[in-house]
Structure 1
Amino acid sequence: MTSGDLQLVIRNARISTGDHALHTIAVRGGRIVALASRDEDLGPAETILDAEGRWVIPGAIDTHSHINQRAPEFEHLPGLGQGDNFAVESRGALAGGCTTALNYVEFGPPSLLESYRSGLATAAGQSMMNVLFHGCLMTMDQVGEIPRAVAEGVRTFKIFMPYRGEEARNLGGIGSLDHAQMRIAFAEIARHGGHALVHAEDGDIVDHCMAHEAALGLDSLAGWERSRPTIAEGDAAWTAMYLAEEAGCPVSIVHVSSLEAIRARRAVGYPGAALESCVHYMLLTTASDIGPEGKVAPPLRDPGLAEQITTAVLAGEIDFFGSDHNVWPSAAKQDWESAKPGLPGIGLMLPLLLSHLVYGRGMSMERAVELTSRNAAVRFGLPGKGIVAVGADADLVILDEGERAIRTDELHSAVDYSPYEGMTLRAWPYATVCGGNLVYQDGKFPNPDSHGEMLNLRFAGAG
C-alpha cells in the first residue's frame, strides 16, 4: 500500500437508524478518514468490502473479561495455557464482534505491578484484539502500588467485597478489602486520577447464606442463588458508592444482577457512579437447564427478576455491558461444591444483546451501540472508540441478520461448552475490523498475524 492508498474501504454500509442511506467508509492508518455517499469513489484501497446494505457498527467494548486467568490443573489443554489463551480467546472475541477487551490482570501474583506487566507482555505477543488492563486491589500492599501502576498506564482498579477463605483460594487467590481498607483505596485511586470498579456483594451476608445452603445440600441454581441473595448486592453497592462519593472517586459497580444495585444508586445519588451488567442476567435464570455450568457470582436470578433487569436496561438504568468472560472448561464445572464460578461469553455478548434488545425488544441500534461500546469508551478514556465518524478508530463490525442457532464448536473459543447452546441469534458478525485490519470474515480469520493495540500504553507516563 502506498502512502496515498487507503487501508480499507467499506461500501454500501448502513450506519444510522435515522435514515436508510448507504455510505462508504474509508480507513487509513487504523482510523476512519472519510464517510461518503455510496456512489463516491474514494480511490484505491488495500482491502475493499461490500456491506451490501448491512449494518456497520462500532466493535463492542467488553468492559469485563478474565482472559488469561487460568486454572493450573487445566493449562495442558489447548488454548487454556499462558502460551495460547490470549491468542485463542481474542479470535473468539473478534468472531463475535468484540474488538476491545477491558481485561483484568491475573489474580494470583502478590504484586499488582508484577501481574500487570506479565499480562501486558502476554497480551501484546498474542492478542488479535485491543486490550486495556484493569488492575486489582486485594491487599493494602497492592493499594500502595497504585502510584506506580498509574505511571505505567493503569487507570482502573477493581476491589472485591465478598471473597474469603476456600472460595477465594478456589478462584486463584482473590482477596477482599474490608470497608476501612476500601475507603483508603478509594482515596488513593482518586488522588491519582483513577477509577474504581467494585464487585459488590456483602461478605458477611454471603458467608451466612452460603453456610446455610451448604448445610441443606447445595444442588441447584436456585440454591446457589439463595446463597448469594440480592440484598447482599444492594448492601454492598450502597456502601461502595457512598464511600466512593466521600472520597471523590469515580466508581463502577460491575456485573449488576439485581434491582437492588440500581435502587442503591438512586438512593446515594452519586453522579460519579456507573452500573455495568452482563447479558446472562437477562437471558439465563435459575430455571435454565445448565446445572453447575451456570454457577457464576453474582448468581443467575429467577426468571421474573431477569425480565426486570431487561426492563431496567430498556429504561436506561444500566450504563454499559461486560461479558465477565471466564475460561474454565466444563471439567471445572462438574459439581456444585467444587465448580468454579464464572461463564464464557465474550464472543456472544454483542450478538446476544442485539438479538435480545434490538430485534426482540425494539431498542434502537444507536442505543445498543451506546450500551455495547460508546458509553464504555467515554467512561474509560477511549474517545476514538464506540463511534463511526471521521477521526474515530476503525474498529467496526458488519452484521448479518436472520436466524442462527448458537453452537459451541463454532465460537472459536478454548472453552468447550456454552450456557447459551441452542439459543437463536437474530444478528451476528459477518465481518470484523480491528485497527483498520480485516480480522474476521464469514467464519475465517484472513489476517491471523494481526495484533491489537495495548491501550494502557496510551496512558503510560501521563499520570
Structure 2
Amino acid sequence: MTELQLIIKNARLNTDDQELYNIGVRDGVIVALTGQAEDLGTAAETLDAAGRWVIPGAIDTHSHINQRAPEYNDLPGFGPDDNFAVESKGALAGGCTTALNYAQFGLGSMLEAYREGLRAAGQQSMMNVLFHGYVMNMEQVAEIPQAVAEGITTFKLFMPYRGEEAAALGGIGSLNHAQMRIAFREIARHGVQALVHAEDGDIVDHCMQHEISAGMTSLASWERSRPTEAEGDAAWTALYLAEKANCPVTIVHVSSLEAIRARRAAGYSDAALESCVHYMLLTTSSGIGPEGKVAPPLRDPELAAAITDAVMNGEIDFFGSDHNVWPSAAKTDWVTARPGLPGIALMLPLLLTHLVYEHGMSMERAIELTSTNAARRFNLPNKGHVSIGADADLVILDEGERVVRTNELHSAVDYSPYDGYVLKTWPSATVVGGTVVFRDGVFPNEDFRGEIINDRFRRDAAGVQEADADLVESIS
C-alpha cells in the first residue's frame, strides 16, 4: 500500500454510536475511512484523536481580512504584507480552514481590489480563501462579467451607507433600489449569487442623526441608530427584487428576527440567511465600549436569546464571523469608531460551546451550520463533510474549560469582546489539505499556503461578453 500523507486514528465522527474511526489522507483528500481496528498502513504523519471529535474545518462565510485602515499599515500584522499571514493563523488556531473573504472595499475598480487580494492571499494565507466581490456603484455593476470570468461567484450589495458615514469608512457606497434591480438581474444573468447588507439607508440616516445630536455614548445608543426596522425593511426589499430577477440571494449578518420574518413571508426558495455568533452572545448590556461597535449593531439581551432560539429552530442557514481587523486605536469613541469586531479565531469554538454544550444541539447539526450548509450554498461540494473523496480540511476538538485570552488568539487585533469567556470545546489540531497547520498551540508548517478557491471558478475570458447595451446606458 502506498504511504499515506496523513492518518488520524481513533476519531469520533457520529453522535449515535460509540465506534471510533481511522481517517486516511492522500494528496489532500480523504481516501480511507475505516473502523478503529483496521490498519491503514503507514503515513508521513499520524495524529491520534484519542476518541475526540474530528469535524470538518469551519467555513467562515463572511470575513474582512486585509480590509485595512491605511493609517495603521505600520503596525505589526496590519499591513498589506502581513495581514493575511497573521489573521490566517488566528483562524486556523480557531478551527476555521476556509474563509469566504471580501475583496477590499472601495468605490474604484472592484476587479483591481480583487486581483490585489488574490496576490496578498496567495503569498501569505495558510488557510483556504474564496473571495467575494461587491457592487457599490454602476461602474462596478459593469465589471460583473469580467469578475465572473476571473472566478468571483458572489457579489455583495449594500443598502445603508451614504453621506458622511460612507466617507468615514474610507469610501463605501450603497445602491438605490433601481440600481439594485439592475444589479440583481446582471448577477443572475451570469449564474452567480448576491449577498446583501440589509439595513435601510433612509431609516439609518434619520436615526443616526438623532442619536448623534443627542450624544452617542453607549451600545444602546448605537443600537437605536440602526433599529431592527431598518433590517426588516431592507430585507423585504432585497428578497422581493432578488426573486423578481430570479437571483440567488443571501441576507448577511442577520441581527434580528426581522429578516427571518421577511424570508418566511416571502417564501423565496433561493434565499439564505447568514448570522454571526456575536448576535447571540454579545448584547447592549455586555458592558463593551466603542470596541463593540458593529453594523448591524448588537441588540438587547432578549433579542439575542430570540436569535439563539431561531438558530435552534433552523431559521439560520450558516454563520460568518464578520471578522474585522481594526486595532483598538481605531475604536476610541462612538461616532468615529470603525464598525466591526474581530471573531474568526473564535467563531467555531464559541458556536459549539453555545449551541452544543449549552443548548443541546447535536454535533451533526452544528457541523451543518459551521461548514456543510455553506459548502452546499457556495458550490464547494468537497468541503463540509468527513467522507471518502472530501477535502481533508479537519479539526480535532478538545473539551473541558478554557478561558479566552486576547493575547492567545494569534491575531494582530489587540482586543477581543470575548476576553474572559469560558469555552467548553476548542481545536487541538487543524488540518488543511491533509497538512497539519496547527497543533497544540504551534504552527508546524508555516510555509504551507492554502488554496485560492476562486481559481476553481475561472471561466474562459475569451467567452466573456461585454455588459449589455441597456446596462451600460443605465450607468449614472
SS at match of 2:387: coil
Which is further off, 164-173 or 371-380?
Answer: 164-173
Structure 2 counterpart of 1:233, one-letter code:
E
- CA distance 1:240–1:109, shift in 2 (3 Å): closer
SS at match of 2:38: coil
Question: What is the alpha-carbon distance in structure 1 between the residues aligned to residue 455 and residue 16 of structure 2?
Answer: 36
For structure 2, list consecutive stretches of 5 or more residues without a partner in the other structure.
465-476
Q: Deviations over 1:400-452 (max 9, x none)?
A: 00000000000000000000000000000000000110000010001110100
Question: What is the alpha-carbon distance in structure 2 between the residues aligned to residue 337 and residue 413 of structure 1?
Answer: 25
For structure 1, list consecutive stretches of 5 or more residues without a partner in the other structure.
none
Choose from 221, 224, 239 the match for 2:222.
224
How do 1:45-444 residues align onto structure 2 when only pairs under 5 Å count? 45-108=43-106, 110-444=108-442
Partner of 2:472: none
- Quote the offset at 1:4 in angstroms: 2.0
SS at match of 1:185: helix
Which is further off, 324-333 or 163-172?
Answer: 163-172
Q: Deviations over 1:149-176 (max 9, x none)?
A: 1011100000000001221122221110
Percent identity for Structure 1 against Structure 2? 74
Question: What is the alpha-carbon distance in structure 2 between the residues aligned to residue 96 and residue 235 of structure 1?
Answer: 35
Structure 1 counterpart of 2:156, one-letter code:
K
Structure 2 counterpart of 1:372, one-letter code:
T
SS at match of 2:339: coil
Choose from 16, 19, 31 the match for 1:18.
16
Question: What is the alpha-carbon distance in structure 1 between the residues aligned to residue 231 and residue 61 of structure 2?
Answer: 19
Give aligned pairs, total.
461
- Quote the offset at 1:39 in angstroms: 1.4
Q: Give me the TM-score of the superposition, normalised by structure 2.
A: 0.96
Question: What is the alpha-carbon distance in structure 2 between the residues aligned to residue 75 and residue 115 of structure 1?
Answer: 17
Structure 2 counterpart of 1:263, one-letter code:
R
SS at match of 2:5: strand
Checking the alignment, whether the CA contact within 8 Å between 1:100 and 1:130 is kept in structure 2 is: yes
Checking the alignment, whether the CA contact within 8 Å between 1:68 and 1:86 is kept in structure 2 is: yes
Q: Deviations over 1:290-325 (max 9, x none)?
A: 110100000000000000000000000000000000
Question: What is the alpha-carbon distance in structure 2 between the residues aligned to residue 146 and residue 211 of structure 1?
Answer: 34
Checking the alignment, whether the CA contact within 8 Å between 1:109 and 1:115 is kept in structure 2 is: no
Question: What is the alpha-carbon distance in structure 1 between the residues aligned to residue 261 and residue 235 of structure 2?
Answer: 9
Checking the alignment, whether the CA contact within 8 Å between 1:104 and 1:135 is kept in structure 2 is: yes
Checking the alignment, whether the CA contact within 8 Å between 1:65 and 1:323 is kept in structure 2 is: yes
- Quote the offset at 1:109 in angstroms: 5.7
Question: What is the alpha-carbon distance in structure 1 between the residues aligned to residue 140 and residue 252 of structure 2?
Answer: 20
Question: What is the alpha-carbon distance in structure 2 between the residues aligned to residue 51 and residue 393 of structure 1?
Answer: 18
Which is further off, 217-226 or 107-116?
Answer: 107-116
Question: What is the alpha-carbon distance in structure 2 between the residues aligned to residue 166 and residue 93 of structure 1?
Answer: 33
SS at match of 1:413: coil
